[in-house]
Amino acid sequence: MSDDLKRWQSERHAELSSPDSWLGLVGLFWLQPGRNPVGRTATATVVLPHGPALLGDLSWADGRVVWQSADGPEVALATDLHGAPTLVDFENLSFFVVDRDGQLAVRLRDRNWAAKAPFAGLDYFPFDHRWQIVAAWQAIDPPLTMEVPNVSGELKTVSVAHRAVFELAGQQVSLLPMAVGDKEVFFVFRDRSSGRETYGAGRFLKVPVATSGQITLDFNRAYNPPCAFTPFATCPLPPPENWLPFAVPAGEKKWLKPV
């Protein structure tokens, strides 16, 4: 195993064991236009596990979200649409607004989550250089338009202009990217290990952008999506085109929640 892969695995562990880990999420609350109370009562839009009956109000109007605490000034909140969202802290709790194709929701986090059940780490398949696959990066003309569902059943329209094509065990297969950036390409895939040794809904893979018509798919870096760790994430599901007809015994294995 290369030092680079060891460093990547170490960074994954640090991310998942931190106070801001996906494991610390304790709620996802969809907002409605207008006033959205935040507090301990069951009638609040954002229900806190402890604290005052009314901590404050989130107001969503004219494309803006404003936080008005019960004893403080108004604060305009940035969502996660264009970067890091604005955090609102209360004791060990922290919440922020996420934008999912124009629908807004609040994610609530307990930053002291690890005191109850510390993160024990991830299991990986042994490194295997055979799963470092150089694929052809083929243009799709005209681009393909797909409706990609997430775990909540909502659909997102994705335009796909390229595919990664490779041959394995006598089969030619392809993967469609969910996003192509300036530095990396993002895939969501399933394989015959899904639901057995790996997370049932599939795994994520980020790789460097293609060069000279080729793209390297290092499945040793395949990793579990946030939905493997919390029910309060909205992860994309792999399209049928990305259901591989063989097992991929590389990368992260299924994470088992401590009992």
**Predicted confidence (pLDDT) per residue in 23-57, tens digit:** 999 999 999 999 999 999 999 999 999 999 999 99
* Residue 152 scores a pLDDT above 70: no
Q: Is residue 59 part of a domain?
A: yes
80, 98 Cβ separation under 8 angstroms: yes
Residue 3 is predicted with a pLDDT of: 87
Sorting pLDDT into bands at 50, 70 and 90, what band is 155?
Answer: confident
Looking at the structure, do residues 151 and 92 belong to the same domain, yes or no? Answer: no
Looking at the structure, do residues 66 and 22 belong to the same domain, yes or no? Answer: yes
Domain CATH number, residue 109 = 2.60.200
Domain that holds residue 23: 16-115
* Residue 101 scores a pLDDT above 90: no
- Percent of the chain clearing pLDDT 90 (strictly above): 84
Sorting pLDDT into bands at 50, 70 and 90, what band is 21?
Answer: very high
Domain count, the chain: 2
* Residue 2 scores a pLDDT above 80: yes
Sorting pLDDT into bands at 50, 70 and 90, what band is 250?
Answer: very high
Residue 156 is predicted with a pLDDT of: 81
Q: Is residue 259 part of a domain?
A: no
Looking at the structure, do residues 78 and 157 belong to the same domain, yes or no? Answer: no
Task: Report, as an integer, the average pLDDT of 112-125.
Answer: 94
Q: How many CB atoms lie within 10 A of CB 188?
A: 22
Residue 174 is predicted with a pLDDT of: 96
Looking at the structure, do residues 181 and 219 belong to the same domain, yes or no? Answer: yes
Q: Whole-model pTM?
A: 0.91
24, 111 Cβ separation under 8 angstroms: yes
CA 233 to chain centre: 7
Give the pairing type, strands 171-175 and 155-168: antiparallel
Q: How far apart are CA 249 and CA 117, in angstroms?
A: 28
